[in-house]
Structure 1
Amino acid sequence: MNLAAPALSEAEVFARLSVLRSAGIGPVSYYHLMRRFGGAAKVLEALPDIAGRSGALYRHVPRERIVAEMERLQAAGGHYLFHDDPAYPRLLAALETPPPVLTYRGDLSLLGQGAVALVGARNASAGACRLARDYGASLAARGYAVVSGLARGIDAAAHRGALAAMDKGGGTIGVIASGIDVTYPPDHAELQEDIAVRGLLLAEMPPGTEPLARHFPFRNRIIAGLAAGTVVVEAAPRSGSLITARLAAEAGREVMAVPGSPLDSRSRGCNELIRDGAILVQSADDIAELLERFDGPSRLKLREPIWTAMDEGPVQFAPQGDAEDGPADIAHLLGMAPVATDELIRQSGASAGAVQMALIELELAGRLVRHAGGRVSLA
C-alpha cells in the first residue's frame, strides 16, 4: 500500500509518517533530525534517548495509527507527496520550513505551472466575488494555476472562475486546512470534489483531521508558498487573507491588492496593504504583467524576505558531520521572549547541531515554542 513516489519504499514512508506524527515533532524538528541522522528509521531509533535526556517519556506512534491513516488516504483516492519528491513544487520548497509531506488528489502536473494565489474575504461583496471569478478565469486562460483556500466568498469565486476556463491551459489548486477526505465548509462539497477531479487538492493535515482555527495559518503559508504572487481582492483588517499576504511577502513573493472604498470595512485590509507597499492591481492584465517581470524581493514593507537555494533541487538528507555532538547547554539562555536560533549559537559557543539537538529535547518535553523567522522561546 505504497501511496508515495515509487522511489520510496513502503517502510520508508511508514517511518517518515511515524516521525511526523510523533508528539512534539513539527517541520523544523523533523528537518533537523533527518539531517542529523540521515533517515527516518534512524530518527525513530534515536527519539527515546533524545526525549529521555530532557526528562520526557517518548512513546512511538502506534503502528495501527499509521496503518489506519494510510488506509484512509487510499480509500479517499489520495497520495503522499514528500519534500524530496521530484514533483514537490520548487517555490514551496524555497520556504524556510516547507511542509515535509502533503497529501493530494488530482493533477500533480499543475504544480509545475506558474501559479498565482487569489484570496479574500469570506463575507465578500457580490462585486468582489464577480471580480475574483473573472480574475480566476482570465489567469487560468493564460495558463496559470490559480491557488486558493476553498473558503466561502473570494476563494470559491476564484476557484470557480479558473475551473470554467481550465480547458485553455491553466487550472486551479485548492489548499485545505483539514484532512484530504474532510470537506470544509460542508456546502463546498461539490466544489472540493470538482477541484480534486479536474484540478489539484492539497492538504498538510493527516486524513480524517477536522479543520481547527490553528490549522488555517499553516494552510495559508502553503497558499502563499505555492505562488509567485498573491492577490488580495477584498479583506477586512486582521483577516486570514492578510496573513497570507504577509507570508507571501516574507517568502519574497509579490503581493498585490485590489483597492476599494474607504467606507467599506471589507476594503480596509486591501487599502492598508497598498499603503504598506503592495502593488495596486485592477485587472488580470495587471496581475499577469507583474508576475511576468517580477524577480523579487517583495515590495511589501514587512520584513526581509526568506530565501533558500531553489536551484539545488529537492531537500536531501545525509548525516551531518557534527552528529556526535551532544546537546548544548542553552536552557539558561531562553526566556519567554522569542530569540533567534543564530543568537543562541553565538552566545553558547556551541555548534549549530548541538544547539538544534538541545532545542529538540526541550520541544519533546513540551518546554519550547517555535516562532516565525527561526525564533524560539520557553513555553
Structure 2
Amino acid sequence: MRMAMSYQQTTTGVKKSPPDTPVGWTEERLAALRSARALAHGSRTLWEIARHTGGRFLPPASAEERTAWPLTDSQKERLAASWREPIEPLAEYLDRHGICAIFADDPGYPAELLRIPDPPYVIFLRGTPLRDEVRIAIVGTRRMTSYGRRSAAFFGGELGRAGITVVSGLATGIDAESHRACIDAGGRAVAVLPGGVDDASVVPRSNMTLVRDILAADGTLASEHLPGTDMKPYSFLYRNRIIAGLSNAVLIVEGDHDSGALVTARLALEQGKEVLAVPGSIWSRASKGPNRLLADGARLCESMQDIWEALGMDGREARRTTQARSGLPPTPAENCILELCGEERTADELARLSGFSAQEVASALSLLELKGRILNVGPKTFLRLP
C-alpha cells in the first residue's frame, strides 16, 4: 500500500516519546486501524482476525498467540512491521481531513452492509454521515450514448427532487451524470469509490469538481480503503457490492453484456434487492446489458412510477419516508415500543405492556415503520428490525 500523502514525520537520532492518543480513538480502534493499514485489500482477513480474537486487534502477547492468528507468513510480516510503526499520525490525518473510519463493531456502521454476504470490516466516510434514508443506485457504462445521458439525468434529477439519495460509483458516464443531476435538483448523493476518499485518490481526476459539489450538497464519499491505497484491477468490481448493499434498489441505465454495471445488478439480486433496467435499442451495444436483464426478469423502468412501485410507495410517500427517517428523534413511546418489539408483539400487547394509550402506540408504530425500525409481520403484529 502506498500513501498519496505524507501523514507521518520521522526524526533521525531523536528519541521520540509515545504520541498522544487522538481524541475519539481508543486503543482498540487504533489497533484495528493499524491492521487495516497493514492488510490493504484484506477485508476478509480482517473479519477472520476479528472472529479469531473476538474482535480484538491488539498485538498478541506471545509468539504462540501470533502464530495462531489466521494469516499467511507474508501477512504476519506486514502486520508485525505495522505494529512497530506509530498509528497515531494516520488517525490524526483522517480526523484533520474529515474522514471517519467506522469499524464493523462501531455503533455508526451501516446496518445494511452487515446484511450482505461480504461486508467490508471498515468503511471510510467523508462528508455527511450516512443516514437512515431511502437510496437508489443508478449505474451504467462509461461510454454512454445521448439516450443514456438523458435517461441518467432524468432519473437522477427526479429522485433528487423527491428526496431520494442517489448512490453510484463516480465513474465517467452514467455514474457521474446521475450524481450531477441529483445534486443539481437539490438532492443528496453517495459516491462509493474504488480507492480512498481523499482528494489525491479520486479517479477519474476529471470528476474532482463533481466531488466538491457532492460534498457541498450534503453528500457522502464512501470507501473500504484507506487514503492513498493502491487500486487493483478488481477494486472497481469489489466496490460494486457496497453500492448494491447501501441501496434499496438498483437501476441499470446502459451497459454492454460484460459491463461492470451487470455485476452490480447480480450482487443486488443476491442481496435480495430489486433490480430495474431502462430498455434500449436493439442496435445499441450500450443497451445489451439492460435488455438482457429485462429478458431475465428485471423490472422494466420507463418512468418514475416504475421506481415507486419497486419501492412499494409513491413519490409523496417517498419524500415523507425520507424526511421521517432522517429528521425526527425517537419519542419516549417509540423507545419503549422498540424495546418491547424484540419479539413479535401486537398493537394491543404494546399498549398494555408500555402503559401508553392505544392512540400513542398507533402513532409511534407508524413513525417507527417510516423510519425503518420495525416491520409489520402480520395483522397488527410488529417486530423490531436489527
Same-fold call, TM cutoff 0.5: yes
Deviations 1:205-247 (A, max 9, x none): 1111243322111211110100011000001111111111111
Check the 8 A contact 1:116/1:231 in 2, yes or no: yes
1:179 is matched with which residue? 196
Residue 131 (structure 2) aligned to one of 99, 108, 111: 111
* C-alpha distance 186-44 of structure 1, shift in aligned 2 (>3 A): farther
> For 1:91-240, what aligned pairs fall within 5 Å after superposition?
91-108=112-129, 110-166=130-186, 170-181=187-198, 182-198=201-217, 199-240=219-260
**Aligned-residue offset at 1:44:** 4.5
In structure 2, do the counterparts of structure 1 residues 23 and 80 end up closer, same or farther at CA, with 3 Å as the change threshold?
Answer: closer
Residues 19 and 44, structure 1, Cα contact 8 Å, conserved in 2 = no
1:50 aligns with 2:76: no
Q: Specify every segment of 5 or more residues in structure 1 that has no aligned partner in the other structure, as ranges.
A: 295-310, 313-379
Q: Which residue of 1 aligns with 2:359?
A: none
Report the Cα distance in structure 1 between the residues aligned to 2:110 and 2:75, rounded to whole angstroms: 36
Computing the radius of gyration from Cα coordinates, the structure with the larger value is 2
Give distance in 2, aligned partners of 1:115 and 1:27.
24
Point out the more displaced range, 149-158 or 87-96: 87-96
Q: TM-score, normalised by structure 2?
A: 0.68
Contact 2:98 / 2:127 at 8 angstroms: preserved in 1? no
The aligned counterpart of 1:19 is 35
Cα 1:53–1:175 shift into 2, 3 Å: closer
SS in 2 for 1:236: coil
Deviation at 1:76, TM superposition (A): 2.8
Rounded to whole Å, the distance in 1 between the matches of 2:47 and 2:265 is 25
* Counterparts of 1:54 and 1:85, CA distance in 2: 27
Q: Is residue 159–residue 166 contact of structure 2 (8 Å, CA) maintained in 1?
A: yes
Please report the RMSD computed on the Cα atoms of aligned residues, expressed in angstroms.
2.8
Question: Structure 1 counterpart of 2:29, which letter?
Answer: V
- What is the rounded CA distance, in whole Å, between the counterparts of 2:46 and 2:174 in structure 1? 34
C-alpha change, 1:266 and 1:87, in structure 2 (3 Å) is same
Amino acid at match of 2:287: S
Pairwise CA distance, 1:142: 1.7
In structure 1, what is the Cα distance between the partners aligned to 2:266 and 2:119?
A: 16
Identify if the C-alpha distance between structure 1 residues 244 and 80 changes in structure 2 by more than 3 Å, giving closer, same or farther: same
Displacement of 1:10 in angstroms is 2.9
Displacement of 1:68: 4.7
Larger relative contact order (CA 8 Å, sep ≥ 6): 1
Superposed counterparts of 1:274-353, under 5 Å: 274-292=294-312
Measured in 2, the distance between the counterparts of 1:138 and 1:79 equals 30
Where 2:262 maps in the other structure, the secondary structure is helix
8 Å CA contact retained: 1:147, 1:175: yes
Superposed displacement of residue 249, structure 1: 0.8
- Deviation of 1:51 after TM superposition, in Å, equals 5.7
The percent of aligned pairs where both chains have the same amino acid is 36
Pair 1:241-2:261 in alignment? yes
Q: Secondary structure at the match of 1:21?
A: helix
Q: Secondary structure at the match of 1:219?
A: helix
Q: How many residues align?
A: 289
Larger mean Cα displacement after TM superposition, 37-46 or 136-145: 37-46
1:87 Cα offset (Å):
2.6
The TM-score with structure 1 as length reference comes to 0.69
Asked if 2 retains the 8 angstrom alpha-carbon contact of 1:175 and 1:219, the reply is: yes
CA contact (8 A) 1:2 1:13 kept: no
